[in-house]
Structure 1
């Protein structure tokens, strides 16, 4: 959740960071504006984009009579495609010096970075390396006094200013932790002639996971910066982003949603939105999703693309039936279902017998149908063609020496943390049905109970007195899940698989720092888990897509894991193991770790890597393959190639974030010899070719 300047300064003030007085003024209020503070006034457009100053979005006035006309000028602006919903008005401040300060959660460095600059301004990232000092703050340790002093001396402040500077920086850091911030930027931080520090401008980003846990954070959400559709979807718990195309998109799972968006865009059928139903596509959500797309004049047809895993296609079809109430859809719908209960789901839709509802057997057929529905007058949006595999690439000769699958097999004793909860019980039963050896469960204050024939203990330490534990799987709510990972590692459990999604990033940073010397291998968080087909599963993966075979599937996305495994299985290609490494910014075991484990595994002849835009995971893997001489063929697919640029803005991102985007990611992978698949359909074909 990226905040505008006004909301950022409200949060700063709450945290004890000195900010100038400021008042929000909405369109229509400009004629009656009479603040208590003196002239001159600065009128500042509130938009979620940079460059507002250069665009004329910040204006000074020296007479109150000029306010109405100046305000109306700002309200009429369009800044990089953003309208101005309101302005913030502040009194002028005398500036003796100005600086730059930011605290940013760094995915690359796995810590919080404190950055200070001797100069602030609109192009802080271009002022040279000497201007900036960047220090790493590890959690849970926090901001150290020596780091405050280092920042103080770098800025060349006076001795008598240390106390106030330390108080400001401490307040900013404490406010970051208390409010789950991913970024807190002050640019510029000024010193007045009276030696007062003031945050003259500010930008804040709140971790969505923290906002979900803490109801007070809802006060910072800014509906005025989102479209009506985005606000309606948010209220319904749907993940929705508006896009410029004409095909309405409805998918379960972010990875599959991104892959489907790419497929539409590359097929010259541009998507009008990104909509992830998630795993709870009940009738209420389905009704909301359909109403959103039916009510959007930009949408001319709708593509529903589902792979049933935990989500049942039959239940989605019943929800859709209820939402349509026996009527034909207001716009043509193309539905493709695969996986769990797909056959019965499609039969339910077919039985509706209404016009405008088309069933597709696979994605290719869905694209063919959508092509026939393409209006003649829609806007043409060109996307670069997807990168294909390197020309002439052939698998390298390989040698194998080991038949162990990194210590997990059908006999691995499994402990379930959170076994008495609804999800814990459901997936314990499903794991047992697959043959997994679940020996114990843990839920505080529920010790002495039994669930599905499994004894329950109050703690892992208690469970270990009676059982050998080879792996723990975690079904614990987000607020407590990081500590559950810490508990598993503190008890030297060899594997900890954290299914929980929505964990605050600060919490995982702290946990990973605390367990960095542990022998526990953490998978996740936000992972579907691990499956060794035909032997065991430790996770929530549906079992029907998987059969034993020679290909390891490693993925950042749950739904893509199921989708690709199903395609491999349909092509007669089984899997030696499948691991979802987790979709969060901070995870335990990564692609490189998994490659190191399977490089000498005899039964793994090839590896399929399912990646996503963002982060450096795939680039790091490519560098590892080159340096280590990893000699098994690697088939890869990256979802989200046509996604719009991320919403994280601000100088902190420009200074600290690395990576050249999707093009750089694919080029790096190509140099490592990866067979890059331009579509999901190509994955099984390229894998079969690699195995010959």
Structure 2
């Protein structure tokens, strides 16, 4: 479960990690009065999506009137399909230096992993590997102050700044353990007037542990209208911003399909795991959801175990006969009753593939031809 930035920062503040002065609003009322007290501000949309700045979700204002106007603008917008209902108004910072600090979990080594970098303020994926410091943490020992001081030395920090950053590292690890977090990230951790502040904050906690924290961690669920519809049908679905609508049966095969689409030069419109034993009606509903997002093409990748290929084929035919599908549709069927499923599709003029590479190449070719 992801937490909003303002929720993560409230937890930071309550546990001794300094954050900028700020206040949360769900309307523009009162924003002007707050800005009159603290001066120029950053107004941040509170949505569970990365890249808010690039999407216009962060605005700056220097006076109460401008701040009120910008707040009204943000509260009337959507960021990547998510309606902005809450904004965080914070003092605008004059930043001297930006750092990156995060703790996550290394599944392969089964240990918490601390990641630090002197190159903060940009997406961590863009930071060169040699600029990242990574340290596995033994949970029997924890992150000790001496280990945190060694990391600050490698970051090139000295004096009071090094002491404060080391202290924040230790506190961040304590929060990681206390809240059963999957990720805690500060990007950037900034130096302002010789002080350290968490200018941004991300926190993801284990869904199964959230019940332990009561009002400390409010349950957050933010889905687009399509994601909500899919959830009601019991379908695992996440909207993306690519070209090809994807349906597969199983999280692993779905992720592999998305990777192949990238590998062959296109991008997925969504993640959809239609489940390991979907009925014909459920499969039809899943296809209707995909079509509602208006992809440039559809790719259906079914490996039939519990799921029967002939049932999937009947669902595809049912949707095709009830809806005028005007975009290319490529199907890969392998597994239980595949011969029957392939024959059914062929009777209705629908070709299918056994090899997933062939299927992905075909759908990507359709998209590129359409875009040419």
- CA distance, structure 1, for counterparts of residue 190 and residue 368 of structure 2: 54
1:82 and 1:242, CA in 2 relative to 1: closer, same or farther beyond 3 A?
A: closer
- CA distance, structure 2, for counterparts of residue 2 and residue 237 of structure 1: 20
Other structure's SS at 1:65 match: helix
Matched, 1:40 2:39: yes
Of residues 307, 310, 319 in structure 2, which corresponds to 1:311?
307
- CA distance, structure 2, for counterparts of residue 152 and residue 261 of structure 1: 38
Of residues 315, 318, 338 in structure 2, which corresponds to 1:342?
338
Correspondence for 1:30? 28
Where does 1:447-458 land on structure 2 (aligned, <5 Å)? none
Contact 1:248–1:302 (8 Å) recurs in 2: yes
Q: Which has the larger radius of gyration?
A: 1
Other structure's SS at 1:358 match: coil
Alpha-carbon RMSD: 5.4
Other structure's SS at 2:139 match: coil
Contact 1:264–1:367 (8 Å) recurs in 2: no
Contact 2:43–2:70 (8 Å) recurs in 1: no
Contact 1:16–1:172 (8 Å) recurs in 2: no
1:21 and 1:379, CA in 2 relative to 1: closer, same or farther beyond 3 A?
A: same
Contact 1:135–1:147 (8 Å) recurs in 2: no
Unaligned runs of 5+ in 1: 381-692
1:172 and 1:283, CA in 2 relative to 1: closer, same or farther beyond 3 A?
A: farther
- CA distance, structure 2, for counterparts of residue 269 and residue 7 of structure 1: 36
Correspondence for 2:158? 156
- CA distance, structure 2, for counterparts of residue 359 and residue 54 of structure 1: 39
**How much has 1:147 moved relative to structure 2?**
1.9
Correspondence for 1:505? none
Matched length? 355
Contact 1:189–1:201 (8 Å) recurs in 2: no
**How much has 1:150 moved relative to structure 2?**
3.8
1:185 and 1:283, CA in 2 relative to 1: closer, same or farther beyond 3 A?
A: farther
Matched, 1:360 2:352: yes
**How much has 1:339 moved relative to structure 2?**
1.3
Matched, 1:296 2:293: yes
Contact 1:45–1:84 (8 Å) recurs in 2: no
Contact 1:312–1:341 (8 Å) recurs in 2: yes
1:141 and 1:343, CA in 2 relative to 1: closer, same or farther beyond 3 A?
A: farther
- CA distance, structure 1, for counterparts of residue 371 and residue 123 of structure 2: 38
**How much has 1:40 moved relative to structure 2?**
0.9
Correspondence for 1:660? none
Q: After superposition, what is the alpha-carbon deviation per residue over 1:558-594, rounded to whole angstroms, capped at 9, x for unaligned?
A: xxxxxxxxxxxxxxxxxxxxxxxxxxxxxxxxxxxxx
1:189 and 1:244, CA in 2 relative to 1: closer, same or farther beyond 3 A?
A: closer
TM-score norm. by structure 2 comes to: 0.66
Correspondence for 1:138? 138
Contact 2:237–2:272 (8 Å) recurs in 1: yes
- CA distance, structure 2, for counterparts of residue 95 and residue 72 of structure 1: 27
Contact 1:188–1:201 (8 Å) recurs in 2: yes
Correspondence for 1:242? 240
- CA distance, structure 2, for counterparts of residue 54 and residue 345 of structure 1: 43
1:324 and 1:180, CA in 2 relative to 1: closer, same or farther beyond 3 A?
A: farther
- CA distance, structure 1, for counterparts of residue 286 and residue 208 of structure 2: 21
**How much has 1:279 moved relative to structure 2?**
1.9
Contact 2:101–2:114 (8 Å) recurs in 1: yes
Correspondence for 1:59? 60
**How much has 1:338 moved relative to structure 2?**
2.2
**How much has 1:89 moved relative to structure 2?**
0.3
Contact 1:306–1:338 (8 Å) recurs in 2: yes
**How much has 1:101 moved relative to structure 2?**
3.6
- CA distance, structure 1, for counterparts of residue 259 and residue 170 of structure 2: 44
- Which protein is richer in helix relative to its size? 2
Correspondence for 1:187? 188
TM-score norm. by structure 1 comes to: 0.40
**How much has 1:292 moved relative to structure 2?**
0.6
Contact 1:41–1:89 (8 Å) recurs in 2: no
Other structure's SS at 2:38 match: coil
Correspondence for 1:277? 274
Contact 1:188–1:199 (8 Å) recurs in 2: yes
Correspondence for 2:322? 328
1:142 and 1:282, CA in 2 relative to 1: closer, same or farther beyond 3 A?
A: farther
Contact 1:22–1:91 (8 Å) recurs in 2: yes
Q: After superposition, what is the alpha-carbon deviation per residue over 1:166-211, rounded to whole angstroms, capped at 9, x for unaligned?
A: 7644432122222322342252245778x7x64232234x37xx33
- CA distance, structure 2, for counterparts of residue 18 and residue 31 of structure 1: 27
Other structure's SS at 2:147 match: helix
